[in-house]
Amino acid sequence: MAQTRFAPDRGLTSRMVTTMFFIGLLYVVVVGVLVVLLKGAWVVVLLIAGALFVAQFWFSDRIAAFSMGAREVTPEQAPELHGAVDRLCALADMPKPRVAIAESDVPNAFATGRNQKNSMVCATTGLLRRLEPEELEGVLAHELSHVAHRDVAVMTIASFLGVLAGIITRAALWSGVGRNNRDQNAAIAVLIVTAVSVVVYAISFLLTRLLSRYRELSADRAAALLTGRPSALAAALTKVTGQIARIPTEDLRKAQPFNAFYFAPAFNKESFNRLLSSHPTLEQRLDQLGRIAAELGRP
Residue 292 confidence (pLDDT): 94
Say how many domains are in the chain.
1
Residue 114 confidence (pLDDT): 76
Exposure string of 273-292, with b = 16+ CB inside 10 Å and e = fewer, is eeeebbbbebeebbebbeeb
Residue 279 confidence (pLDDT): 83
Residue 66 confidence (pLDDT): 76
Beta strands in the chain (DSSP E): 70-72, 98-102, 109-115, 118-124
Is residue 130, in this structure, part of any structural domain at all? Answer: yes
Residue 82, marked binder: no
Residue 257 confidence (pLDDT): 46
Residues 77-95 have pLDDT tens digits of 999 999 999 999 999 999 9
Instruction: Report the amino acid identity of residue 278.
Output: S
Is residue 271, in this structure, part of any structural domain at all? Answer: no
Closest CA to 236 of 142, 146, 299, 149: 142
Sheet architecture: strand order including 70-72:
70-72, 98-102, 118-124, 109-115
Under the banding of pLDDT at 50, 70 and 90, the label for residue 271 is very low
pLDDT for residue 134 is more than 80: yes
Tell me whether strands 118-124 and 98-102 are parallel, antiparallel or unpaired. parallel
Helices first, then strands: H and E counts in the chain: 11, 4
The secondary structure of residue 234, as a DSSP letter, is H
pLDDT for residue 123 is more than 90: yes
Is residue 2, in this structure, part of any structural domain at all? Answer: no
Residues 12-65 have pLDDT tens digits of 999 888 888 877 777 677 666 666 666 666 677 677 667 766 776 677 667 667
pLDDT for residue 104 is more than 60: yes
pLDDT for residue 209 is more than 60: yes
Under the banding of pLDDT at 50, 70 and 90, the label for residue 137 is very high
Higher pLDDT, 272 or 211: 211
Cα separations in angstroms, 202 against 39, 165, 190, 193, 208: 25, 10, 18, 14, 10
Residues 143-181 have pLDDT tens digits of 999 999 988 878 767 766 665 565 655 665 565 554 554
Is residue 244, in this structure, part of any structural domain at all? Answer: yes
CB 178 within 8 A of CB 187: yes
Closest CA to 213 of 259, 149, 280: 280
Residue 247 confidence (pLDDT): 55
Residue 61 CB neighbour total at 10 angstroms: 23
Residue 117 confidence (pLDDT): 83
Residue 143 annotated in active site: yes
pLDDT for residue 250 is more than 50: no
Residue 142, marked binder: yes
Is residue 7, in this structure, part of any structural domain at all? Answer: no
Mean pLDDT, range 209-232, rounded to an integer: 92
Residue 180 sits in which domain range?
16-264+276-297
Residue 299 CB neighbour total at 10 angstroms: 7
Closest CA to 263 of 255, 272, 271: 255
Is residue 8, in this structure, part of any structural domain at all? Answer: no
Is residue 83, in this structure, part of any structural domain at all? Answer: yes
Backbone angles phi, psi at 30, to 5 degrees: -60, -45
Residue 132, marked binder: no
- pLDDT over 70 percentage in the chain: 64
Is residue 205, in this structure, part of any structural domain at all? Answer: yes
Out of 72, 103, 143, 250, which one is annotated catalytic?
Answer: 143
